[in-house]
Chain A
Amino acid sequence: MDELLQEFLTETNEGLGYLDVELVKLEQNPNDPDILSNIFRLMHTIKGTCGFLGLPRLEAVAHAGENVLGKVRDGDVEVTPGLVSIVLECLDRIRLILGALEETEAEPVGDDSELIARLETVAEGWDAEQLTQPVASDALETGSDAPSEEAASVPTAEDSAADETVSEVDPEQADEDVPVELAEIEATEENIVEMVQPGEEVVAVVSNDGAGGGQPPAPEMEAGDQGQPRESSVANQSIRVNVELLENLMTMVSELVLNRNQLLQILRTHKDSDFAAPLQRLNHVVSELQEGVMKTRMQPIGNAWAKLPRIVRDLSQDMHKKIDLQMKGADTELDRQVLELIKDPLTHMVRNSADHGLETTEGRRAAGKPETGTIVLNAYHEGGHIIIQITDDGRGLNTDKIKEKALANGLTTEAELANMNEQQIMQFIFKPGFSTAQEVTSVSGRGVGMDVVRSNIEKIGGNVELTSKYGKGTSFTIKIPLTLAIVSALIVESASERFAIPQLAVIELVRASANSDHSIERINDTPVLRLRNRLLPLVNLSELLKLEREDDESEKDQFIVVAKVGTYSFGIIVDRVFDTEEIVVKPVAPILRDITLFSGNTILGDGSVVMILDPNGIAGETGELTVTEGMEGMAEQKAAKSDDTVAMLLFKAGSEAPKAVPLGLVARLEEIDRETIETSGGQPVVQYRGQLMPLITMDSHQALEGTGRQQVLVFTDRNRSMGLVVDSILDIVEEPLNIELGGEHQGYIGSATIAGKATDIIDTGYFLTQAYSDWFQADGKLEGDSASNRILLVDDSPFFRNLLAPLLSSAGYNVTSVEGADAALELCEAGEDFDVILSDIEMPGMSGFEFAAAVRANRWSETPLVALSGHASPNDFARGRAAGFSDYVTKFDRAGLLASLNETLSNMRGAA
């Protein structure tokens, strides 16, 4: 084939592909000049190139198409679904001619005058809709509100036939992602036979459902003058099947799976059976069959999204906001049943993000954000589930407003609110009867709240999580199972009854026994489990279900199924854990439907019927749906920490203003019983780990009398402990610290803005000396004549300078602190001498490593250097050594620091 023709075919085919997509976009955004000019240019290029190769037929068709688009571009003709259809038809004709060209290297003979005539009529401004076949006009005339929907509808599918609609082209499925299907439909309408590239995946219409009444049951495959009779091979590649048929097939496969499980169960007890081998084969075949049938039900999630660009576009116009909707992972597939159920909640959430989440253009400008707000939809697979994230960069949730609203709507009380953290307060938006928008707009205020969204998602075994930062944006994460029909479940036993717990909700299993690391403890008669330094609320399944226990089994080992619902983790105590099994979910009988603890039932391999537990319902029964959500957030924040942030523990003590202390300094958080507080020498003390621990109050007004629990921050050094009495622990935040100094008050280093609030940073050294006046001196004595030792402390953070300088001075050192390497080197030039230099690593300007190199090269080359850093991995350590540091200590490791200094100095003396 001529090189030129080859190039032309490739180029034009590419162009056609773009055109299909762009045209559908145009239909959704008829006023977008960019899309329009893009389309025009593509068509124009096709036409322009034809001339060079002497392809008059192709040129004539392309010219007619370009003509229509030109009129649209010039504003003479409006974009209507009919117009788009006819242009698509024009593209199909071009494809048809190209196909023949590729085979024969010559234009096929044919007559396009009818199509060209219609294109010309459209170009003159006639209503394209009247030109299309009557079959399609039903759908097309329903209005311009949802053109994409209509354009994609199956020609014979009338409203009454919606249920019967075949799966491949759902009436609500817009055509953005299925240009080929769309083309196919158009072809059917016009009885054009073939327009699909060979080898391309195609969907052929084998049979239309009879629901269309008088409609012909199948399109006439008219092999007209331009018809390349290739439809038979095309038809073999894919067929349309009624969804109901697929559903039935799925049900049968489900039954088969159950049967297989039953057989396998029997086989387990008869190890040497002759059936073993054939059963294994059956097992594999059934598994593959199941997988195959599941695949037939899979559809890309983009189908559920297809309407969103249009919705967002309309919203952005109505509300005068600029919105950019980004959709990622649109080809992620999931079961169409799940897809159907998730479609409305998703649409609602995107609406919400656009309406409530994003600020107006002025609002964004005022907040210093780009004018265009962004909503990102992201879908991906993760361990048998689909994760869908909806993120906006809007105003975020305003917890103050949520509080007000929750109070106004009687959802909570002031007292309850006072004990909630931000995460917990945000959860109110999922409560029935709650809506944060101050006025109900026509957009979101449709009587559907986030509570409905949440319950719809939970109905299909999914969950939705929310994170939001005021002023920064909101992110929803939806986790849903791939399919509903068959789920993987954990089979457990409680009081000799078996239950299934959907694997989706199970995080881990913990074996608890009295003499192991994990034992069930009780706080106020509520069982809890101490798991990796977190208290996990527990619920005993047999107690919850009021099952009779045969004997006292409390001595036996118990298993805890750690489950997670939303951001809430809790443990379910069961007696035994068997296995995970693929189970077929059967709906709960109507008589049990009101019991929220069960989500369905199933038949296990051995033929017994068991109930499927609903973790959401169980979490609801425990009544503390939001108890640890804040803690969860903390854990995640910690995981994502960066080097320049400091973990701060926020608490309240005495006054209302939040106070903070570096988390690294706190040894433990304890809750003590006020009744155990004693007084020794006028000092409140408590017996703690076999010793008396003095309790220090932040100010004298704090009362330690009365009963109840008292929260205490424990600071430990060597074998001594001190408890700082606090009113409540607020949060742990990981933020870059920017301390504004203002230490007029004893006991405070200064204040900083943490989590958006002015927060006092307490001076732990001060309180430590309150407890033991010789706290630091004790160390000092141990180090003998260290008073003569001069230390140079180099750290850019005033916080650390203020934290470490008093600590070191009280340990008997003579401390000079500077804020950077430059200042330190100036001291060197000024003739100052030090016995040891303590330097931070991460500093602006010259880093600690560079500083060390500089020191090694100057007059101080013999002075030992100790590195201070937020983190000390073996790598850092090695690098520090290489740079010339004699030791490497993490910040906050006070004992380590003093020990290191001591050692460094004695080494030096030894050497000297």
Chain B
Amino acid sequence: MKSCLIVDDSKTVRMVAKRILEELSFSTREACDGQEALQLCESEMPDAILLDWNMPVKNGIDFLRELRGKVGVNQPVVIFCTTENGLSHIHEAIAAGADEYIMKPFDSGIVESKFSQVGLI
């Protein structure tokens, strides 16, 4: 079973994501900000990360840069998911090391198609 870390400050969004991912047979863990996500990654690196942009303490983009800055670790697939839909945002996210980018609100179909694009499913 593949694992996915859901990083979002809204518990509602995490619940939605969790339901979708569990249907896709992922084991999930949750973090409510980038800081917590980093800690979870350190203890066990997931196969994929579903990452929100705007979060307190440490936002998604900072988390991503830090994660990608770490060398010698198994790099997970990172799917950025946020309502920030400007082209510049997408560029910034990809430049920081995101593998894919999905818009909020997402549903099961969107998540499934993106995950299969990056080869997780």
Contacts and interface: CB of A to CB of B under 8 A. Distances in A.
Interface of A: 3-4, 7-8, 11, 38, 40-41, 44-45, 47-53
20 contacts: A3-B15, A4-B12, A4-B15, A4-B16, A7-B12, A8-B12, A38-B56, A40-B54, A41-B9, A44-B83, A47-B83, A48-B10, A48-B54, A48-B105, A49-B10, A49-B13, A51-B105, A52-B16, A52-B104, A53-B12
A48 B104 contact: yes
Contacts of B45: none
Interface size class of B (residues with CB under 8 A): 10 to 19
A733 B10 CA distance: 57
B11 interface: yes
A41 to B, nearest CB: 5
Given A3-B15, A48-B54, A48-B83, 7 more contacts: A7-B15, A41-B9, A45-B9, A45-B54, A48-B105, A50-B105, A51-B83
A52 B83 contact: no
B96 interface: no
A49 B83 CA distance: 10
Contacts of A41: 9, 54-56
A52 B54 contact: no
A53 B55 CA distance: 20
Contacts of B105: 48, 50-52
A40 B105 CA distance: 18
Contacts of B104: 48, 51-52
Contacts of B15: 3-4, 7
Interface in B27-62: 54-56
Contacts of A45: 9-10, 54
A44 B105 CA distance: 12
A49 B13 CA distance: 6
B82 to A, nearest CB: 8
Nearest to B103: A51
Interface in B1-31: 9-13, 15-16
Closest 10 pairs between A and B when the two form their complex, measured CB to CB: A51-B105, A8-B12, A52-B105, A41-B54, A49-B12, A52-B16, A48-B83, A49-B10, A48-B104, A7-B12
B12 A52 contact: yes
A7 B56 CA distance: 19
A48 B10 CA distance: 9
Nearest to B104: A48
A41 B32 CA distance: 13
Contacts of B54: 40-41, 44-45, 48
Most B C-beta atoms less than 10 A away, residue of A3, A4, A47, A53: A4
Main secondary structure of the interface of A (DSSP, over half): helix
Nearest to B9: A45
B89 to A, nearest CB: 12
Interface string B86-100: 000000000000000
A52 B108 CA distance: 11
B108 to A, nearest CB: 12
B81 to A, nearest CB: 10
A50 B82 CA distance: 13
Contacts of A47: 83
A52 B56 CA distance: 20
A48 B16 CA distance: 12
Contacts of B16: 4, 52
Nearest to A45: B10
Contacts of B55: 41
Most B C-beta atoms less than 10 A away, residue of A38, A51, A53: A51
Contacts of A38: 56
A532 B12 CA distance: 67
A253 to B, nearest CB: 49
A11 B15 CA distance: 12
Contacts of A50: 105
Contact of B11 (A7, A44, A48, A51): A7
Nearest to B14: A7
A81 B16 CA distance: 38
B104 to A, nearest CB: 5
Contact of A11 (B12, B56, B82): B12
B25 to A, nearest CB: 21
A11 B11 contact: yes
Interface string B67-95: 00000000000000011000000000000
Most A C-beta atoms less than 10 A away, residue of B10, B82, B83, B105: B10
Nearest to A37: B54
A51 B10 CA distance: 12
Contacts of A48: 10, 13, 54, 82-83, 104-105
Nearest to A5: B12
A35 to B, nearest CB: 12
A4 B16 CA distance: 8
B50 to A, nearest CB: 13
Contacts of A52: 12-13, 16, 104-105
Contacts of B82: 48
Contacts of B11: 7, 11
B101 to A, nearest CB: 15
Contacts of A4: 12, 15-16
Contacts of B9: 41, 45
Interface string B101-112: 000110000000
Nearest to A15: B10
A504 to B, nearest CB: 46
Most B C-beta atoms less than 10 A away, residue of A8, A41, A45: A45
A147 to B, nearest CB: 26
Contacts of A8: 12
A863 B15 CA distance: 73
B49 to A, nearest CB: 18
Contacts of A40: 54
A49 B11 CA distance: 9
A38 B55 CA distance: 9
A53 to B, nearest CB: 7
A345 B9 CA distance: 44
A44 B55 CA distance: 10
Contacts of A3: 15
A40 B56 CA distance: 11
A45 B52 CA distance: 10
Contacts of A53: 12
Contacts of A44: 54, 83
A53 B11 CA distance: 13
Contacts of A51: 83, 104-105
A61 to B, nearest CB: 15
